[in-house]
Structure 1
Amino acid sequence: MLAFASRSKALVKRAPAAARWASSAASKDQFKILVVGGGSAGLTVANQLYKRFKSAGKALNEGDIAILDAAEYHYYQPGWTLVGAGLKQKEETRRNLDTLIPSHLAHIPENVKTFEPKSNSVTTASGRKIGYENLVVATGLQTNWSSIPGLEKALADPSSGVSSIYSYNTADKVWRDIDALRSGKAIFTQPAGVIKCAGAPQKIMWMAWDRYQRTGRGDTISVDFYTGTPSIFSVKKYADALNELRIQRGVGGYFNHNLVSVNPDAHRATFKTPDGTVDVEYTLLHVSPPMGPLEVMKDQPIVDQAGWVSVDQATLRHTNSEFGNVWALGDCSSLPTSKTAAAITGQAPVLTENLFSVVDTGKIANAAYDGYTSCPLLTGYGQLMLAEFKYGLEPKESFANILGDQAIPRAAYYYLKKDLFPWAYWNHMIKGNWFGSSGFIRPSFGQ
């Protein structure tokens, strides 16, 4: 999810009748369910909640569920790797948020400023107080570009050789830099700590490596991976396969090397290691920046010490029993799993079922999230390693029995990432009709 704090108000034309209804619904100061955030998690769960109540014959009225978000645009961020690899145009990854919110949901084009769970309300940046019966927090996380001195200057310079797939504004610069390089040293970085899709920093590296091999530049360009983490991937099965691939391809691996500054004038990057700091020259530098909770979330009563919304890792309900009507999912949550769009497909049905059950019966349902997440690891053009796993970093694969071992890069998995997943996202997931590994079938959770 994009940094929630950076979103701006949507200005989209509506039909007159729809505009009048939307204005009326959005002007209410009390909602049955208030969803804070209109990213992948917010849109998905809001639509699933509405449909779950309706399927049980207990349909909510139009406007009983509201999405609070001042964004002008909604982004399909997994597509930015495809943009960086020259496979998509960045415009394909962006749509006006207002056009993605159906008429039965209210849209409040504001951002949250404070949470007041004891009074079942939030206050927006404009000072408006909004009440709720149930609150779903899906605000995402923020990308901390400024925490690396020199990075923002380098990204703004078209000729710096520095780029990143982690923003809409810079994803296309990645492809221009990769395609333009004829010789030298290409460095790809990954920070220590929590980031969105921890496999993405090396996905774009593998695509660049393959591009250079296919265009006869493999002998004149060296490719190195500098990561602040101790291994190339967190799940051993896939880490072993990726490291073997790295060695076979002659890609340098520098572990526990965390990028701390960039000098675009000298084309030097500084990394912190357990033994001190090292300066490295580069010709091309792809940076995956540090990330963390939104500034607005810090010190809020619903977050833990790190700034994540504290929820039970199975039910997605707040860990504080006093806040039993507060729920969270996606990147803003404390769930101990990788922060990916795929994880949301596992989380949203669980949250939906549990929230519905609490409203309907006063009791939590049997729905439990097992930590499922997925990282489609592009390893080159026409090949992809499909990492799927759950809590405990244990593989939980969906296609192995049909298509073969998911630690082996395959063309079938590549086209899932390139074509099927974007189609499913825009047409079904954010509309509440796609449940990840369950496809179009809503999980029953044994009920």
Structure 2
Amino acid sequence: MGKGGPPVSAEQSSLPHRVALISLHTSPLAQAGGGDAGGMNVYVAQTARRLADRGVQVEIFTRATGSDQPPVVHWHPGVLVRHVVAGPFEGLDKIDLPGQLCSFTAGVLRAEAAREPGHYDLVHSHYWLSGQVGYLAKDRWAVPLVHSAHTLAKVKNAALADGDRPEPFGRVVGEEQVVVEADRLVANTATEARELIELYGADPARVDVVAPGVDTDVFRPGDRSRARARLGLPADARLIVFAGRIQPLKAPDVLVRALGELHRRSPDDRWRLVVVGGVSGSVTTSPDSLRELAAAEGVADRLEFRPPVAPELLAEYFRAADVVGVPSHNESFGLVALEAQAVGTPVVAAARGGLTVAVRDDESGLLLPGHDARDWADALGRICRDAALRERLSAGAVRQAAAFSWEHTVEKLLDTYRRAIADAAAARHPGRSVPAGTGERVGSR
């Protein structure tokens, strides 16, 4: 697990020429923080660009969500984004997307059919819906399939928030199918790798652990006062920031309740919670429901909503904060926590999933075992009030984030790609070593 077989030989070390990335339900061009756009968007965008910078031609297939979207966008040198028409442009929830799999798959296969045989060396699918498309493309194109789950239905259903709806059985079956069909599986953490193995029966030899990274050119330390002035936030506030989609899984309500607890304990302190993000998923968690909760807690005037923003501005929100709260019920990794730490802001996070990897307890932030508002108020209050603690955690946060880079992520992904191609070639030609990236296939058209 994380090793995934024998070391890649020098003969097998050449890069794949072309990779098809499938990200059906969300585009890397979309603004993260609202709708279905989140950490996966960032992951696909960052890895695609860096793969292209290494000389790999990347084509990203995503579903068109607007009539004004061009069929093909030359987004970055070496990266094409293809908008595939599948279903209505608007008004289609993620739970309705399985009904458009056939249409989307036809569009993907049609794009490849216009090329010379053997155009792609590999397919990398992101999320289970894309995996369904990916394993059909794998069979049609006779290339290996690498799959990243990003989230798993069985894990999410075991940690549902109040009012959230469970993932449907169809998704569970779909994920099980993709685990069987994929040549290699990419997990964000060792915990996710174990979940794939124990809950889905994945072959440990086919699971690679590849941690996401953080863009430290964008998310870097800066002046808190200047950031607050730029964002129009009070200079003297004890400022807590939440960034992400507003949905039960992300649990922003926990921070609202903690804000109420902090206000009751010390009403003279200028507590402020800023929520940066848009509505996603179940309507049981929305700005209106959070406002109602804040009113019940007596802190309606201390809660503020800001829309999703580009990474450069998001970094300013993190710089402005005394602390960033990440109370998610589950995260496969938790990029927000890593990005906040990269600017030097401590994080209070739930000890769930990948957050236990992204945050080092009492070194770069604080990890909490549950979601009790009193415990969250204790942790948030400690960091906001104790300057020495905040300074220590801030230094640790920068060190923690520095251990993760997108360059390292892509290097590990390329190892996975090489191994997948080499294994597929070995299956086609038993006993003969075939260098990766030569166009050899496991089957024929």
TM normalised by structure 1 equals 0.30
Greater strand share, structure number: 1
Q: Which has the higher contact order (CA 8 A, sep 6+)?
A: 2
Greater helix share, structure number: 2
